[in-house]
Chain A
Amino acid sequence: MPVNTASLVIGLSYASLLFLVSVGLSVVFGLMRFVNLATGSLYLIGGYIGWSVARSTGNFLLALVAGALAALVVGVLIERGFLQRLHRKELLQVCLTLGVAYIVQDVTRWIWGGDPLRLRPPELLRGSMELFGSVVPIYRVALIGIGAVLAVLVWYLLERTKWGAYVRAGVDDLEMVECLGINARRIFAIVFSLGALLCGLGGALGTPVTGVAPGTDIQLQLMALIVVVLGGLGSVTGAIIASIVVALVDTIVRTFWPEASFFAVWALAALVLIVRPQGLLGRAA
Chain B
Amino acid sequence: MNAKSITAQWRPAAILGLLVLLLIAPFVLPTYPLSVLTEILIFTLFAMSLNILLGYAGLPSLGHSAFFGTGGYAVGLLAKYFGTPAPLALLIAVGAGIALALITGPFVLRTHGAYFLILTLSLTQVLFGIVWLWRRVTGGDDGLPGIPTPKLPFLLGRVSDTANFYYLTLIVVGIAIATIAWVVRSPFGLALVGIRENERYLEGLGYPTWTLKYVAYALAGGYGALAGGLFAYFKGFVGPGQISWLLAGEGMVMVILGGAGTFWGPAIGTILVLLLRYEVSAFTQRWVMILGIVFILTVLLLPQGIVRLPNRIREIRAQLRREAPLPRPTAPAHHTPSERAVEQVIERS
Q: Which of A70-123 contact B (CB under 8 A)?
A: 82, 85-86, 89-92, 94-96, 98-103, 105-107, 110
* Nearest opposing residue in chain A for B55, CB measure: A91
Q: What per-residue 1/0 map shows which CB atoms of B75-90 lie under 8 Å from chain A?
A: 0000000000000000
Contact of A95 among B107, B112, B253, B286 (CB under 8 A): B253
Q: Judge if B289 is at the interface, Cβ distance under 8 Å.
A: yes
* Nearest opposing residue in chain B for A176, CB measure: B348
* Complex CA–CA separation, A91 to B287 (angstroms): 23
Interface residues on A, range: 35 or more
Q: Is the interface of B mostly helix, strand, loop or mixed?
A: helix
Chain A residues within an 8 Å CB radius of B107: 273-274
Are A90's CB and B60's CB within 8 A?
yes
Q: How far, in Å, is A121 (CB) from chain B's closest CB? A: 32
Q: Judge if B129 is at the interface, Cβ distance under 8 Å.
A: yes
Q: Which of A221-261 contact B (CB under 8 A)?
A: 225-226, 228-229, 233, 259-260
Are A33's CB and B253's CB within 8 A?
no
Interface residues on B, range: 35 or more
Contact of B299 among A35, A86, A225 (CB under 8 A): A86
Are B295's CB and A269's CB within 8 A?
no
* Complex CA–CA separation, A270 to B111 (angstroms): 11
Q: Judge if A3 is at the interface, Cβ distance under 8 Å.
A: no
Q: How far, in Å, is B51 (CB) from chain A's closest CB? A: 11
Interchain pairs with CB closer than 8 A, number? 125
Q: Judge if B247 is at the interface, Cβ distance under 8 Å.
A: no
Known: A99-B294, A273-B119. A285 touches B299 (CB 8 A): no
Contact of B122 among A35, A260, A273 (CB under 8 A): A273
Chain B residues within an 8 Å CB radius of A229: 114-115, 118
8 interchain residue pairs of minimum CB distance: A99-B295, A263-B129, A102-B292, A266-B125, A103-B292, A106-B289, A270-B122, A229-B118
Interface residue ranges, A against B (CB under 8 Å) = 29, 33, 35, 82, 85-86, 89-92, 94-96, 98-103, 105-107, 110, 175, 225-226, 228-229, 233, 259-260, 262-264, 266-267, 269-270, 273-274, 277-279, 282, 285
